[in-house]
Amino acid sequence: MIADLQCVVLDCTEPRELAEFYQALLGGAVNQQDRRWAVGDDWATLHTPSGLVLAFQRVADYLPPQWPGSARPQQFHLDFGVADLDRAQEQVLALGARLLDEGSDGRGWRVCADPAGHPFCLVRH
């Protein structure tokens, strides 16, 4: 095992409003204090009663998916918690992932893409 799933992140225009929508649907706490994420105008979280965390990130030019169809496909990414960013990056690249952003500015995450091009983040525990 390389990582554990920390949350599913959905793109949107209004993170807090979307978090509150899913809170009404699933229960839980919006923007519960959690050392893994800083919430604000561009980022909101929902800690659900089942333990699943959904996160919502503002995207300025967000266009909602069109379903069915592929003109604007479904948009989200996964965050994986890892103890060692360098080691986890090495392991996922060996599995066929591509590095999209190495986080060289000291951030605690790296952005990669799976073999089909879907982005995901490796986030330091």
- In three state form, how does the secondary structure of 41-93 look? CCEEEEECCCCCEEEEEECCCCCCCCCCCCCCCCCEEEEEEECCHHHHHHHHH
Give me the pLDDT at residue 93, please. Answer: 95
Q: Which pLDDT does position 94 carry in this prediction?
A: 95
Q: Which pLDDT score is estimated for 40? A: 92
Assign 2 to helix, strand or coil. coil
What's the pLDDT at 38? 86
Please tell me the distance from the alpha carbon of residue 36 to that of residue 48, in angstroms, as a whole number: 16
The domain 75-125 having CATH identifier 3.10.180.10: the answer here is yes
- In the beta sheet, which residues pair with residue 44? 56
Asked if residue 108 lies in contact with residue 124, where contact means CB atoms within 8 angstroms, the answer is yes
Could you tell me which of 43, 54, 60, 46 has the C-alpha nearest to residue 77? 54
Task: Write out the residue limits of the CATH 3.30.720.120 domain(s) in the chain.
Answer: 8-59
Q: Mean pLDDT per segment of 10 residues, for the chain of length 125 residues?
A: 93 95 95 91 96 94 85 85 94 94 81 88 90
The pLDDT assigned to 99 comes to 95
pLDDT score of 5: 93
Task: Give the CATH architecture of domain 8-59.
Answer: 2-Layer Sandwich (3.30)
Helix or strand holding residue 5 (H, E):
strand 4-12
The CATH 3.10.180.10 domain(s) of the chain lie at 75-125
The model carries a pTM of: 0.81
Cα–Cα nearest to 111, from 83, 84, 92: 92
